[in-house]
């Protein structure tokens, strides 16, 4: 089974930008639909953004709409999350995962093959 590996997290200031990557290690993505989730300390993991290929449809949580952009490069077996205008409340561990066909974009149970996560910390 292909492993998903997230990278690109770090410590930034409010208002800064980051680009997260989710690479397929050992193969290619098995699903045409994938998503990003995040989990802040003491909170449940929540949906951030989703993307389906090759149609290109995208889905976003209201809290990140207009600031985050999800994209995918199938030739590179990599999915990205561009995060602009970062806020303190964006601090979390960010995970990528593949989505089951026909399932809801917004619930954790719709996804499988989770990566290990990458920490994003936004400071004031």
**CB contact at 8 A, 83 and 70:** no
Give me the mean pLDDT over the 15-20 stretch.
Answer: 98
Which ranges constitute the DSSP H helices of 65-116? none
The two three-digit tokens of residue 123, written as one number: 């400071």
Task: Give the Cα separation of 109 and 38 in Å (integer).
Answer: 14
Does residue 8 register a pLDDT over 90? yes
% pLDDT > 70, the chain: 100
Q: How confident is the model at residue 74 (pLDDT cuts 50, 70, 90)?
A: confident
Residue count (the chain): 124
Q: What is the pLDDT of residue 98?
A: 95
Q: Between 30 and 40, whose confidence is greater?
A: 40
| pLDDT of residue 35 exceeding 90 | yes
- At 96-105, the pLDDT tens digits run 999 998 899 9
């Amino acid at each position: 089974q292909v492993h998903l590996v997230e990278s690109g997290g770090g410590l930034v200031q409010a208002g800064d930008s980051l680009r997260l990557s989710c690479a397929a290690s050992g193969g290619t993505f098995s699903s045409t639909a994938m998503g990003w989730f995040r989990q802040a300390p003491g909170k449940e993991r929540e949906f951030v953004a989703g993307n389906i290929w090759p149609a290109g449809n995208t889905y976003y949580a209201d809290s990140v709409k207009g600031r985050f952009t999800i994209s995918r490069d199938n030739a590179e077996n990599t999915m990205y999350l561009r995060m602009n205008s970062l806020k303190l409340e964006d601090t979390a561990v960010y995970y990528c995962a593949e989505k089951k066909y026909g399932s809801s974009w917004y619930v954790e149970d719709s996804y499988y093959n989770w990566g290990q996560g990458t920490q994003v910390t936004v400071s004031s």
